[in-house]
Structure 1
Amino acid sequence: MSRVALVTGAASGIGAAVSTELADRGWAVGGLDLRPAPHLAASVAVDVSDSDQVHDAVRAIRGRLGPIHAVVTAAGHYEMTPVSQISASAWRTMLRVHLGGLRNVVHAVLPEMLERGSGSIVAISSELAIGGGDGDAHYAAAKGAVVGFVRSLAAEVAAQGVRVNAVAPGPTDTPLLAADSPWRDPSYLATLPAGRLCTPEEIAYAVHFLLDGPGYCTGEVLSPNSGAVI
């Protein structure tokens, strides 16, 4: 029987790459996203910032695929806005989706992992949580909070067999980055030691390593970022 992985943001970008990578490696993958993810074994349209919706969706995935062994939280959005122009609504939305979405999914799946004595959770953060960025304050703050949550939860549940880690990608070649994004500008790419954006598939490899790799990895933050932060 296949192990079951739950991936949020599974319909596109990094979430889609992660779900495809895991499915190719034999996992049964359930996806949560605002849009359907028909390429997966199960998919539920859900707003991850709504705790009740997430709990209902997790129950539906569990009912179709079985007990959940792993979780990847990749749902999110990105925008560049100077601090002076960040509205209260935009600030709340950024935190509600990234940090709140992580909390909601963990709240829905952690009890069964603790009862079983095993499980693996990987949250997608960002290189901006580590290095910051001009015009990225609310996004970097939300992603930095994700790292704090991951490290704290890892310490809390390690003795009960549950591992919690994060992947903090650099700018990645997904639809999240508009065609005119400064992260795609050749002058920026020239500053990267690798000289290019990460691909979603490369991020998916890092996620798979943390999910399925050495059991001693918990509370870690891997940052595949083309050398943007060394």
Structure 2
Amino acid sequence: MAEESEERRVAVVTGAASGLGAAVAGALSAGGWQVAGLDLRPSRETALGVEVDVTDADAVGSAVDRVERELGPVATLVTAAGVYEMLPVEDVDGARWHRMMAVNLSGTATTCAAVVPRMVARGRGSVVTISSDLGVGGSQGDVHYAASKGAIVGFTRALATELEGTGVAVNTVAPGAADTPMLETDSPWRSGDFLATLPVRRLVRPEEIAAAALFLLGTGTAVSGQVLSPNAGATI
């Protein structure tokens, strides 16, 4: 295993191939971190890219083993892998509900289960999950997505409480609508009517969400179990 040092800080980012995950991975890499990206697709701007399905617990465990063999002990985890779709509740069938929960919620829990015990054993570490403003406030047409992201808030707060005193902090970033490929060009979140409700008159940028994640990662155990919502001023 590689030796851990200040020059070789190791981070794992799920969903690092695109969108918010790619922004977080890029920001960590620019800050001197050795980043391992876990995604179904190849991850750019990472020291190591591992193609893995975050809903597969065994595969995620093997991926984290590889990361620690090749890069060193994982000090930071950001769970950014996720999916999104808008549907009225009557159109959310069992398959769509299961996929949303499997990727967004179970993917978060599975990755934390693979990484966090290693952090606890070393007595230090920081985890940032990615939730959503919709998981806090809800929205029409977002029932299954909001449920999955709201559950991440509860999961994060419970895990932070469970890890109190271990040296491991756990927080969540709950962004507002973000300017990523996850939002289709005709999405109502991109409409002029919605943007006009925001003080900055635009969607949140991925790099702003990454900055929020890095802020939480830098607070140590002084901040844990908290929700930070970069949302273009939507809740001012």
Q: Do structure 1's residue 52 and structure 2's residue 58 form an aligned pair?
A: yes
Q: CA deviation at 1:213?
A: 2.5
* Alignment equivalent of 1:104, drawn from 110, 113, 137: 110
CA distance in 2, matches of 1:196, 1:107: 36
Q: CA deviation at 1:38?
A: 3.6
Name 2:208's counterpart in structure 1.
202
Q: Which amino acid aligns with 2:46?
A: L
3-state SS, counterpart of residue 215 of structure 1: helix
Name 1:68's counterpart in structure 2.
74
CA distance in 2, matches of 1:118, 1:214: 9
How many residues align structurally?
Answer: 230
Q: Is the 8 A contact 2:16 2:44 kept in 1?
A: no
* Alignment equivalent of 2:141, drawn from 135, 139, 146: 135
Map Cα deviations across residues 22-79 of structure 1 (whole Å, 9 max, x no partner): 0000110000001001421001001101111111111111111000000000000100
Q: After the TM superposition, which residues 1-230 of structure 1 pair with which residues of structure 2 at under 5 Å, given as runs?
A: 1-230=7-236
Q: Is the 8 A contact 2:15 2:37 kept in 1?
A: yes
CA distance in 1, matches of 2:67, 2:113: 15
Name 2:4's counterpart in structure 1.
none
Q: Which amino acid aligns with 1:188?
A: F
Q: Is the 8 A contact 1:120 1:211 kept in 2?
A: yes
Instruction: Calculate percent identity across the aligned residue pairs.
Output: 54
Q: CA deviation at 1:193?
A: 1.7
TM-score when normalising by structure 2: 0.96
CA distance in 2, matches of 1:93, 1:56: 22
Q: CA deviation at 1:214?
A: 4.8
- Which 4+ stretches in 1 moved above 3 angstroms? none
Map Cα deviations across residues 155-189 of structure 1 (whole Å, 9 max, x no partner): 11021111000000000000000111110011110
Q: CA deviation at 1:215?
A: 3.3
Q: Is the 8 A contact 1:35 1:45 kept in 2?
A: yes
Q: Is the 8 A contact 2:25 2:45 kept in 1?
A: no
CA distance in 2, matches of 1:229, 1:81: 24
Q: Is the 8 A contact 2:169 2:220 kept in 1?
A: no
Q: Is the 8 A contact 1:11 1:37 kept in 2?
A: yes
Give unmatched runs, 5+ long, in structure 2: 1-6
Map Cα deviations across residues 126-178 of structure 1 (whole Å, 9 max, x no partner): 00011101100000000000000000000110211110000000000000001
CA distance in 1, matches of 2:21, 2:42: 12
CA distance in 1, matches of 2:10, 2:220: 19
Give unmatched runs, 5+ long, in structure 1: none
Q: Is the 8 A contact 2:22 2:44 kept in 1?
A: no
Q: Is the 8 A contact 1:127 1:229 kept in 2?
A: no
Query: How big is the alpha-carbon RMSD for the aligned residues of Structure 1 and Structure 2?
Result: 0.9
3-state SS, counterpart of residue 159 of structure 1: coil
Q: Which amino acid aligns with 1:19?
A: A
TM-score when normalising by structure 1: 0.98
